[in-house]
Chains A and B, each alone.
Chain A
Amino acid sequence: MLYNQPNPLEVKVLSRRFTLPNSQSIETYLANDGYKALEKALGMTQDQIIDEVKASGLRGRGGAGFPTGLKWSFVPRQSPKPKYIVVNADESEPGTCKDRLLIEYDPHQLIEGVIIAGQAVGAEQGYIYIRGEYRYLIDVMDRAIDEAYARGVLGDNVMGSGRKFHLASHSGAGAYECGEESALLESFEGKRGNPRIRPPFPAVAGCYQSPTILNNVETFCAVPAIFLNGGAYFAGLGSPKNGGTRLFCLSGHVNKPGVYELPMGFNLMRMINEVGGGVRGGKKLKAVIPGGSSCPVLKADECDIAMDYDSVAAAKSMLGSGGVVVMDEDTCMVNAALRIMKFYAHESCGWCIPCREGTTWLKKLLTRFHEGMGQRSDIVLIGDLSKNMLGRTFCPLGDAAAMPTIAFVEKFKDEFEAHLDGKPCPYEKSNRMVAA
């Protein structure tokens, strides 16, 4: 049973098997085009595989939107070291809950995508780094991996091709920072999840300092469809330079929150109104975070945009991880900014000064401000401190904390001003601060 009802506007590619009975099982998968893409890929050269992915216009679904085929092409052909495929299933970006479904309902799709990636670069070992909170998905994944071994899809002779590919799950233990690819690799190696100095990038020195393809779950899950129907087919599903579909996670003040697979470039207002059933309780839309909590908030009047990487970037935000957080007219934007900063302060790894100290300072400042103890100069300071983090931190977490904060304080300055002079928060209902 799905957690939310599907919507007719959905274009189901990655999620097309979600509603099938026993969708997790390899039988269901095999009966529904399963591992046919791999069969095709096994007959292709490494260049052909990478070219197909390039042709699909697939861009990384983790958040940065880097072209996947290009990323794969950075892995050196000749390497004295073994190569690795690592799946980032450390889904932690607030507002995002799609990878959970992709594993829960169709784990074999992920396995197939990973094996194809292995063929693209000559890797024989893959790992799936799953966030510790998704413990039940580790069991799902392990069962699927066992099935794949039993059917000869994984192992020393992948589908009779004579090639090896091994795959194993790996549990995280609660750290947002490990969603950053180099931090994930450190964590995978049994260390603190501090990011690494880059370059070198994982393609050259990743897992165990060996060449590594590291992508998000959804990115790998898109791969079988690309090989089944061709890169051009996948590209055609989306908008220019933004191939395929995307699993958007609608949350917040909509009538029908849920995860929906929609073509890249789907209009945000339509997504809210036609897919999400409009703003809850007939209220007015105030703002939308379009791609998870690190993406700058869009005001209601900025939301008539196509949801693809380039269009959202043009609106000075980011498509991010697909977490669309809808906020109605009663939402306190100071509180939203505070809650998000509290998250980043909690998750900052502590490696670099601007992020470590900046997020903590901003958390304290926003807490005081939201409690009505703010001063006018604090409004400037909030923006200023965020800008002093922006672009200066070791990894993108600092930017992820700074960018939304800058947007909140610049776009909703009036709401910040309304909290001045000891006035109670004008948004009583959402004016709840939580202990930390």
Chain B
Amino acid sequence: MTFSPELEARFEKFLAKYPADRKRSAVIPMLIYGQDEVGAITDELINEVAKRTGATPLQVTEVVGFYSMLHRKPQGKYHVQVCTNISCLLVGGAELWEQACKKTGLGHKETSKDGLISLEEVECMGACSWAPAVQVNYDFYHDVTPEQLDKLIDGLAAGKKPEQIAEVTKVSC
């Protein structure tokens, strides 16, 4: 399996982090960064990660199902994650999630036909004091209102990059 030079370099760096006989430690980092490039955790990716870390494909498969950020099905180019856990729930997280569903016509873990947007209702993402919060891929959005979410989704649907959407600002650097 071939990856971009950037990802290859990253994998090499990962594998160098752990003792020589402990390459299996790189399984999860390789899976999640690999998913970012491949689009999903494919059988091919599982086998490749297994091969490079000395784990068996079954051991890697066991790992994939355990972690909620690892997906066997391809997600959208923009994976919109809305937190509805307790801190967000108290300040409109549920309404925000409903709005996201209404706006996109998608449900939990569904992807738009054009592959642009996918939705996921997620557990606490660590933005409780700036709730309700949304993550698009790995970027955080704090204190999101339903109106802002609409703008964000409209912008993404219009082919804009998240940073080009003026109404909402991602907070993570």
Chain A: residues with CB nearer than 8 A to chain B? 3-4, 82, 91-97, 99-100, 104, 127, 131-136, 140, 168, 170-176, 187-193, 208, 249-253, 257-259, 289, 293, 323, 325-327, 331, 335-336, 339-340, 343, 346-347, 349, 430, 432-436
Contacts and interface: CB of A to CB of B under 8 A. Distances in A.
Interface stretch (B1-9, B81-89, B156-164): B81-89
Contacts of B107: 435
Given A251-B87, A323-B128, A434-B84, A171 B94 contact: no
A166 B142 CA distance: 35
Contacts of A3: 129-130, 142, 171
B69 A94 contact: no
A45 to B, nearest CB: 28
B172 A136 contact: yes
Contacts of B128: 94-97, 249, 251, 257, 323, 325
Interface residues of B, number: 54
Contacts of B32: 132, 171, 173
A103 to B, nearest CB: 11
A208 B22 contact: yes
A131 B140 CA distance: 14
A339 B86 contact: yes
Contacts, number: 178
B53 A94 contact: no
Given A432-B94, A436-B121, A97 B66 contact: no
Given A136-B173, A173-B70, 5 more contacts: A94-B128, A95-B86, A140-B173, A189-B24, A253-B91
B171 to A, nearest CB: 7
25 contacts: A92-B123, A93-B124, A94-B86, A96-B128, A97-B129, A100-B127, A132-B32, A136-B140, A136-B172, A171-B28, A173-B28, A173-B32, A174-B70, A190-B26, A190-B28, A191-B24, A191-B62, A252-B90, A257-B129, A258-B130, A293-B124, A325-B128, A430-B89, A434-B89, A434-B98
Interface in B87-140: 87, 89-91, 94-95, 97-98, 101, 107-108, 121, 123-131, 135, 138-140
B87 A190 contact: no
Contacts of A133: 69, 125-126, 135, 138
B67 A173 contact: yes
A57 to B, nearest CB: 26
Contacts of B94: 432-434
A193 B67 contact: yes
Contact of A343 (B69, B70, B124): B124
Contacts of B19: 82, 208
Interface of B: 17, 19, 22, 24-29, 31-33, 53, 55, 59, 62-63, 66-70, 84-87, 89-91, 94-95, 97-98, 101, 107-108, 121, 123-131, 135, 138-140, 142, 171-173
A170 B173 CA distance: 19
A434 B28 contact: no
Residue picked from A133, A136, A435, A436, most chain B C-beta under 10 Å: A133
B108 A258 contact: no
Lowest 9 CB-CB distances: which A-B pairs, in order?
Answer: A174-B69, A190-B27, A173-B67, A190-B24, A135-B138, A251-B87, A174-B68, A94-B124, A251-B128
Contact of B126 (A97, A140, A327): A97
Contacts of A192: 62-63, 66
Residue picked from A176, A190, A193, A253, most chain B C-beta under 10 Å: A190
A189 B86 contact: no
A277 to B, nearest CB: 13
A175 B126 contact: no
Given A133-B138, A192-B62, A436-B108, A95 B173 contact: no
A157 to B, nearest CB: 20
B55 to A, nearest CB: 6
